[in-house]
Amino acid sequence: MNNTFNTIIRKALVVILPVPLLMLIAYIAIDPFGQLYGNERVYRPLDSEDDVWLDINYSRESMENFQRYNPRDSFNTFILGSSITYVVSADELAKRIDGARPFHFWSPMQSIHSLMLELKYLESNGADLSHVLVVLAPNAFSLTEPEMSTVAILPPGINPDMTWPEYHWLYLKSFYNREMFKTYSVSKIMGRPVDGVSMVNDIKRPMQVLNPETMEMSLYYMDSLLRHDPVAYSDMIKNRIPHDRTIHELPSNSNADNIADIAEIANILQRSSDDYRVMIAPSWGKDVPHHDDLAVLRKYFGDHLYDFSRSLSWTADCDTLYIDRQHFRAPLATMMMDSVYGQPIF
Amino acid sequence: MLFNSAVFVLFFALVFVIYWRVLGNKFRYQNVFLLCASMLFYGWWDWRFLFLILFTIATTYSTAILAERSHARLWTTLNVVVNVTILFVFKYFNFFRENALAVLNSLGLYPDWFTIDVLLPVGISFYTFQAIGYSIDVYRGEIKAERNIVSFALFISFFPQLVAGPIENARSLLPQINSPRRLDQSEVVLGMRQALWGLIKKVLVADACAFRVDEAFADPQAVMSQSGFRLAYIVVLFSIQIYCDFSGYCDIARGSARCLGIRLMHNFNNPYFSRNVQEFWRRWNISLMRWFTNYIYIPMGGSRRSNIRTYANLMIVFALSGLWHGASWNFVIWGLYWGIIMVCYRLWRNITGRSKAKLSAELPGCYTPMMSVTLFFALIGWAIFRCSGVDQVVYVVSSITLPLAAAIAALVFATWLMQSLYNNGYRWVVRAVSTLIIAGILALFVINPIESLYNIFRIYAVAVFAIEWYYRNDEFTLQRMPSNRWLRYSLYWLAIFMILTNSYDDVQFIYFQF
């Protein structure tokens, strides 16, 4: 019996173990998402010349940056929000607040829940939340799945429901999904990325490694398209929104979870901050939060809430104020800050 | 705990080691251990489900013993009623409530009824049927009531077949549980191969199809605006998905049970290669159809009474089989549809006077067209099965019938043509044309003009069916492997690599919801 058992176990190990073991070793050696070693990979700049362009996890980047630089700089001013805050400049905000030491803590596809978790993280890590600017997208209420892509997985430091092994397991699975692994391997062999169309390396669906040229046409490089092919830009951005649209009220999503999260955000801000402001950004698609959702925000934030989503004069100018349907450009960010904080004092 | 998850692999490895290494020579301890493992496996979904299965075990165990002593009919009826009531409350109450309410509302009555807001316990239909079957077998005197509570509880809750079958017969499973098992290396190897094949079907084919089918059916409005060709393609994908999903599950279940020294029954026997609808139902979900035959169809008279009575029995059995799959009108329609098809098939057989043997012998060279005609009826059935709501059923079936009927008309013509050729001695022509038709259909499926031109999962799907065709006379696919060790190991490693790189999400098995 024992001999048979030992033989079976030995054979089973020879059959089953080599492949997952090799895959694990390869992942650890390559660290494709820059999640395993060295903060340098996490801090990899957006315009990296890396031959295979893999998007980084901005939530983790924000967390690592905060942990690294807060002891030195003692930040007291925070900008929080989703990818739309990419152009909300910490320097511009600093010009409007006396003694501000600003830090931009952002994570793409941010839901109300992940915003609450980030604020909790900052509070529990002793951040000085004297000044806080929260920028909400009109659809913030409907974003409920912050962990849907590798750029937006909340790291365990922020998300108490996730452990580091679970976090790395998600990346490991993402790397070895068929399309991802295939295009990554081919691009490594060829020395350049293969064609791909996806924005991010999604962990739930097979996606391909990004091609910088494709990326150039997407989110942050829309300017390039506007310069080189205004007609295509117009088709892609402008013509998707009906010209006669006035306001597009999004469906209500004031469920119990969202309301509890909003209440917790308001609690943290009232407890820790002398000066907090919450603004809802206008979108080119003229999307506005449902009036029920807006009522919830007003109830908890009161006069601290600035709703720009209905500022239709801003949404009329697509080319200079917007990148796409949701994402605005720096001049609009400055105009909103002027409206909330007044003109620069420095 | 899904079979296609890392947790199950670890769980099974642990069970295997303790079962054979620690408790190897003591089968009663092995049974206790397997029972605990089964409870852990089932409680992994929701520990509250355990109360329900323990209740079923307790009532079925005690009523069977009582039935053996006296008042057999009373105790058996009581147990059947209790189990059916549990099933009704958890699975069907809200469905009947909604429909009764709709009828009463239309009559101007508005009763204030309550809704039972509970989760449907995983696999409840499978283990309830297994328990009812056991009760009836004891009542009929076909088996003796099991006195050992551990053995009986393990019979109901044996984890490889607990949540999606096969619905085992007590005569087959209980004796295995009550006798010592011997660790046999060749049996373990065969079990692992079978489980590996099941995983291949589930992960490489079923999940990839599920992704596309679910996407197509996600928006009910969008379904109603799709073309017939597109819907026909989606229905074909669903037919592949449901087969690879369910038979994949059964392969994993049988394979893992085999590793533990227990043989489970065959639940699928290449159903899509059937030559008529009756054969299809003898090859699809064999254990469920056997259950309906033994405990519903034959007691009602089966086919021994008049023709009309036989047709009525068939309709009842298939309607119940539809309802067994789920509390929804589309499942009822699906059951009735199959009932009508089976009645029509019997009518045709009776009118033309063709016996089964004659039918098989009549068209030996026309396997492909007959298979395709059967597949056509199966596809229409799967369309009904996948839809939600009567409106959707009507739209989808009416949309896909024309493209599929055109294909079937061509095949019927081909059948006639080939039969003529066959009868005139051109047997090689028949074989060549059949092969060409198969190759053409497969090529059209792989190089698909409806979806993207090329997608690897369609090649996997074709490969899976080709391999199953190759192994069709064996007990299970991959039973025979190359004798060269390195070639064999390389194939294992390739399969494991493909499974790991395709399992980006743990997708639920379809039949878990039943």
| Optimal mutation site among B14, B501, B503, interface A, most CBs of chain A within 10 A | B501
Share of chain A above pLDDT 90, in %: 12
B330 to each of B277, B387, B390, how far by Cα in Å?
Answer: 20, 7, 6
Per-residue pLDDT tens over the stretch B472-492 = 888 888 888 888 888 999 999
By C-alpha distance, the chain B residue nearest A171 is B504
* pLDDT over 50 (residue B371): yes
pLDDT value at residue A265: 93
**Using a CB-CB distance cutoff of 8 angstroms, which residues of chain A are in contact with residue B256?**
none
pLDDT value at residue A56: 65
Task: Please say whether the dihedral angle defined by the alpha carbons of residues A4, A9, A13 and A16, taken in this order, is positive or negative.
Answer: positive
Q: Is B505 on the interface with A (CB under 8 A)?
A: yes
Q: Is A178 on the interface with B (CB under 8 A)?
A: yes
pLDDT value at residue A268: 93
Candidates B162, B131, B124; CA nearest to B252 is B162
* pLDDT over 90 (residue A263): yes
CA distance A125 to A233: 43
For Cα atoms B420, B422, B426, give the angle at the middle one, nearest 5 degrees: 110
* pLDDT over 50 (residue A154): yes
Mean pLDDT of B388-393: 82
Contact A18 B21 (CB under 8 A): no
pLDDT value at residue B456: 72
Candidates A79, A84, A171, A75; CA nearest to A125 is A75
Chain A nearest CA to B267, separation (Å) = 26
Contact B500 A9 (CB under 8 A): no
* Residue that wins the pLDDT comparison between B309 and A86: B309
Residues listed for chain B: 514
By C-alpha distance, the chain A residue nearest B14 is A9
Q: Which residues contact A114 (CB under 8 A, 6 or more apart)?
A: A59, A107, A146, A154, A158, A159
8 A C-beta contact, residue A93 and residue A336:
no
As beta bridge partners, residue A287 has A248
* pLDDT over 60 (residue B223): yes
**Using a CB-CB distance cutoff of 8 angstroms, which residues of chain B are in contact with residue A9?**
17
Tokens of A182: 């295939």
Q: Is B197 on the interface with A (CB under 8 A)?
A: no
**Using a CB-CB distance cutoff of 8 angstroms, which residues of chain B are in contact with residue A18?**
493
Contact B504 A11 (CB under 8 A): no
Chain B nearest CA to A234, separation (Å) = 27
A3-42 residues touching B, CB cutoff 8 A = 4-5, 7-9, 11-12, 14-16, 18-20, 23
CA distance A121 to A63: 9
Nearest beta carbon to residue B505 from set A1, A20, A204: A204
* Residue that wins the pLDDT comparison between B348 and A148: B348
Tokens of B314: 């068939």
Candidates A46, A28, A160, A36; CA nearest to A106 is A46
By C-alpha distance, the chain A residue nearest B503 is A177
Candidates B495, B472, B513, B450; CA nearest to B202 is B495
pLDDT value at residue B38: 93
Three-state secondary structure call for residue A136: strand
Say whether the peptide bond before residue B166 is cis (omega within 30 degrees of 0).
Answer: yes
By C-alpha distance, the chain B residue nearest A14 is B489
Q: Is B501 on the interface with A (CB under 8 A)?
A: yes
A134-173 residues touching B, CB cutoff 8 A = 173
B242 residue type, one letter: I
Contact B185 A176 (CB under 8 A): no
* Residue that wins the pLDDT comparison between B359 and A339: A339
Nearest beta carbon to residue B501 from set A8, A14, A177: A177
- Main-chain phi, psi angles of A191, to 5 degrees: 80, 5
Three-state secondary structure call for residue A210: strand
**Using a CB-CB distance cutoff of 8 angstroms, which residues of chain B are in contact with residue A205?**
211, 504
Mean pLDDT of B186-197: 92
Nearest beta carbon to residue A1 from set B24, B189, B493: B24
DSSP state of B124: H
* pLDDT over 90 (residue A184): no
As beta bridge partners, residue A305 has A278
Task: Find the range with the poorest average confidence among A223-227, B200-204, B318-322.
Answer: A223-227
Strands A275-280 and A305-307: parallel
Exposure class string for B267-283: b at 16+ Cβ within 10 A, else e: bbebbbbbbbbbbbbeb
DSSP state of A197: -
By C-alpha distance, the chain A residue nearest B188 is A8
Contact B185 A8 (CB under 8 A): yes
Per-residue DSSP letters for A280-319?
EPP-TT-EE--HHHHHHHHHHHGGGEEE-TT-HHHHT-HH
| Optimal mutation site among B500, B505, B507, interface A, most CBs of chain A within 10 A | B500
Active site residue B325: yes
* pLDDT over 70 (residue B139): yes
Q: What share of chain B is helix, strand, coil (3-state, %, to 5)?
A: 75, 0, 25
Average pLDDT over chain A reads 76
**Using a CB-CB distance cutoff of 8 angstroms, which residues of chain A are in contact with residue B503?**
173
B334 to each of B73, B87, B166, B384, B401, how far by Cα in Å?
Answer: 33, 20, 21, 6, 15
* Residue that wins the pLDDT comparison between A342 and B383: B383
Strands A102-106 and A131-136: unpaired
Per-residue DSSP letters for B414-468?
HHHHHHHHHHTT-HHHHHHHHHHHHHHHHHHHHS-SSS-S--HHHHHHHHHHHHH
Q: Is A204 on the interface with B (CB under 8 A)?
A: yes
Chain B nearest CA to A174, separation (Å) = 7
Contact B504 A178 (CB under 8 A): yes
Q: Is B25 on the interface with A (CB under 8 A)?
A: yes
Average pLDDT over chain B reads 83
* Residue that wins the pLDDT comparison between B202 and A253: B202
Size of the A and B interface in Cβ pairs below 8 Å: 56
Contact B21 A206 (CB under 8 A): no
Given the residues B181, B254, B283, B325, select the one marked as catalytic.
Answer: B325
Per-residue pLDDT tens over the stretch B258-277 = 999 999 998 988 898 888 88
* pLDDT over 50 (residue A188): yes
* pLDDT over 90 (residue B424): no
